[in-house]
Amino acid sequence: MSEEKPIIVLENVCKYFGNFKALTDVNLTVQKGARIVVCGPSGSGKSTMIRCINRLEEHDSGRIIVAGNELTDAVKNIDAVRREVGMVFQSFNLFPHLKVVDNLTLALKLVRKVGKPEAREIATRYLERVHIPDQADKYPSQLSGGQQQRVAIARALCMNPEVMLFDEPTSALDPEMISEVLDVMTELAEEGMTMICVTHEMGFARSVADQIAFMDAGEIVEIAPPSEFFQNPRSERTKLFLSQILSH
Amino acid sequence: MSALAGWGDDYFWGAMVILRLFAVSLIIAVIIGLIGAAMKLSGNRLAQTIANAYTVIFRGTPELLVLLIVYFGAAVTLTAIVQSFDANVKFIDIPPFWAGAFAIALIVGAYMTETFRGAFLGVDSGHVEAARALGLSNFQTFVYVRIPQMWRLALPNFGNHMLSLMKDTALISVIGVEEIVFVAEMATTVTNKPFTMYIVVAFIYLCITTVITLAVMLLEKYANKHLVGGK
Amino acid sequence: MIFEFGLIFGSIPKMLTGLGLTLQLLLLSSFIGLVLAVITLLMRISGRWFLVAPAVVYIYIFRGTPILVQIFVIYYGLPQFEFIREGVFWPFLREPFWCCILALSLNAGAYVSEILRGGVLGVDKGAQEAASALGISKTQSFIYITTPIAIRLSLPAYSNDIISMTKATALASTVTLLDMTGVARTIVAQTFAPYEIFISAAIIYMVIAWMVQKGFGMLERRMSRYIKATR
């Protein structure tokens, strides 16, 4: 693996919201096929970091390189990066006025210029992959939260991305629906998808991630394989965080 | 100001007339709105029907027609009544200012009814339940929990209704009240500068509506002060 | 007082002769108004100050002044200038009909652009972010995501605005036009039966308002199929 070029590189990335420093010198290298879980207290910059990776937020300094394209103001590069990176949001962000299948095909038609029948075929394939092929002609509001999130995953997969970013994909779900989404994500990981996943699901992190990054106050405090991360956290802040979330 | 060629005074007094009309109509409209909202929320079928009919009629009829109905209608009615006592009376004139104030209040009152009703229903029933659970009486709940939240909810719409009310005052020139449109008409016949004269009217209205808008904005800021700064 | 129902039924056919003009005023100015509103909206959200500033000033002026005054400024005021009287638009601007259309359209443009802006601002930012994340361009996102959602969100307010416009067409009678209110006023001047005649006119206006409301209600239900449908 290590002889290959990394697919995502963040070098000394800083990001401000006004006077608030959301990211401080973040460095991260993601190899193809890597499965990275990012955790940390709320407000620690986890979401900001992955939103910078596909330019939903602009970083203020440092470099972000995705699949060989450096993210700058150049629209061409941003488009190139977004083609390689799929994103799943906490609140699904489906297009409410479009049926499930049209949610999946819209970007295929507009961005990839795929014809209508072919787009529909691709959409059906990915809906099968997230186990809801029979919901294609419903509106998002007719689905449960878990189903909606799986539609959102299928929508991102349709674009055939190199990397998937997950921004707390299960935080808005009722407890009984979390596993159906995590199952789909686990299957994706098993198929070798490169993923960066912000989540509080430590069980998922333990079983799926090959690296866990802990963020606090805009910094990556520690990054380690799960066994090491859970058994011997090096930093005090990590220990404190783990004791808080694992105490129940 | 020299362009006004000595009509400045007349515009000033005309503006005073519309401001007075604004104040009078606003007071009546608020009273009507409160009564209307109370009727709609009363649970009494008859009261609800009357209030519903009132809002449907006055929100669906052109403002100008309401004004004409009230002004000419009142004149005809009063004349008829007086004639039944004294057949010698030919015609009773209604003071157009009051006919105008009443007509505009009836129109805006219909909108106020809906706003007050919405604000009453908009108060989170959880807050009311919480107050009752804490042992507050019905009356205390109304005064300490409902009213402070109601006026905050009603304020944006209330501001808009004040603006429409202000603009509706221009209508009363049609029934011959000597306000600023009337002044512009007079001034035009003398100076032959209609654009200048009517633009002054527009400018006066724009100033007044700006003041109202700013005042409502300040009030809203004050009313919502407990909602900001959450982060 | 005797309320003559015969007079009501007798006057409705006469009133309907003015209905054509009322509907012309309504349809023409709502259409031109909508076009103006979309242009103004695009200017307003363009983010470029030289487009935003004129849009804001236009909206501010037309929402801050009474329509009646706007009609008077255009109809009585503009001929003050020689370049208007000599200009290519003079054949239109000397007609009270086109002056009313102009005033009503400009008015609708200002109000409707604010309604549409409310719709655009009401669209969930998440859907737009998802579109960007999928590589959909800003323009495409505006056309395929923002616009359809914003239209549905604006529909109730737009329907109210059409009703306000219907009522505003009555002001055409103040510049000699024989729309429904104009016809009613001439009949009253002859018969002096203000209640019967003006109320008949009011009933027709209410029927129009009712139809507009029902029509838009149906449209809204159709467009809301995607919200809260049954599981």
Q: Which residues, at least 6 apart from A165, have a Cβ–Cβ distance to it below 8 Å?
A: A50, A53, A54, A85, A86, A87, A88, A195, A196, A197
**Contact assignment for C1 to B81 by CB distance below 8 Å:** yes
**Contact assignment for B170 to C66 by CB distance below 8 Å:** yes
- A in contact with B (at least 3 C-beta pairs within 8 A): no
Asked if A166 and A197 touch (Cβ cutoff 8 Å), the reply is yes
- Complex prediction ipTM: 0.89
What does the pLDDT look like over B83-134, one tens digit per residue?
Answer: 888 877 777 778 899 999 999 999 999 999 999 999 989 888 888 889 888 8
Place C1 in a pLDDT band, splitting at 50, 70 and 90.
Answer: very low
- Tell me, what's the pLDDT at C68? 96
What is the domain partition of chain C in residue ranges? Answer: 5-229
Nearest chain A CA: its distance from C54 CA (Å): 29
Q: What is the CA radius of gyration of chain A?
A: 18
Q: Which of A194, A243, A224 is nearest to A53 (CA)?
A: A194
Mean pLDDT of chain C: 91
Q: Which residues, at least 6 apart from A237, have a Cβ–Cβ distance to it below 8 Å?
A: A214, A216, A221
What does the pLDDT look like over C115-173, one tens digit per residue?
Answer: 999 999 999 999 999 999 999 999 999 999 999 999 999 999 999 999 999 999 999 99
Asked if A96 and C124 touch (Cβ cutoff 8 Å), the reply is yes
Give the amino acid at A113. K
Name which CATH class applies to C5-229: mainly alpha
Inform me whether the C-beta atom of residue A91 falls under 8 Å from chain C C-beta atoms: yes
Q: CB-CB: which of C63, C76, C171 is closest to B194? A: C76
Inform me whether the C-beta atom of residue C81 falls under 8 Å from chain B C-beta atoms: yes
Could you say which architecture CATH assigns to the domain B13-179? Orthogonal Bundle (1.10)
Inform me whether the pLDDT recorded for B231 exceeds 50: no
- Tell me, what's the pLDDT at B229? 53
What is the separation of C-alpha C198 from the centre of its chain, rounded to a whole number of angstroms?
23
How confident is chain A (248 residues) per 10-residue block, as mean pLDDT? 76 92 92 93 91 92 90 85 92 93 94 93 94 92 94 95 94 91 93 93 91 93 92 90 81
User: What is the rounded average pLDDT of the residues B189-209?
Assistant: 92
The residue of chain A nearest to residue C149, with distances taken between CA atoms, is: A97
What is the domain partition of chain B in residue ranges? Answer: 13-179
The residue of chain C nearest to residue A108, with distances taken between CA atoms, is: C134
**Contact assignment for A152 to C130 by CB distance below 8 Å:** yes
Distance CA B151, CA B216 (A): 12
Inform me whether the C-beta atom of residue B193 falls under 8 Å from chain C C-beta atoms: yes
For strand A8-17 and strand A194-198, is the pairing parallel, antiparallel, or unpaired? unpaired
C159 CB neighbour count, 10 Å cutoff: 20
CB pairs under 8 A between B and C: 129
Inform me whether the C-beta atom of residue B206 falls under 8 Å from chain C C-beta atoms: yes
The angle subtended at Cα B209 by Cα C157 and Cα B123, nearest 5°, is: 50
- Could you tell me the pTM of the whole model? 0.88
Nearest chain C CA: its distance from A242 CA (Å): 31
Length of chain A in terms of residues written: 248
**Contact assignment for C134 to A107 by CB distance below 8 Å:** yes
Q: CB-CB: which of C61, C68, C193 is closest to B170? A: C68
Nearest chain A CA: its distance from C211 CA (Å): 27
**Ramachandran sector of residue A161 (left: φ over 0; alpha: ψ -120 to 50; beta: rest):** beta
The residue of chain B nearest to residue C205, with distances taken between CA atoms, is: B61
- Tell me, what's the pLDDT at B5? 64
Q: CB-CB: which of C136, C149, C226 is closest to A110? A: C136
Inform me whether the C-beta atom of residue C82 falls under 8 Å from chain B C-beta atoms: no
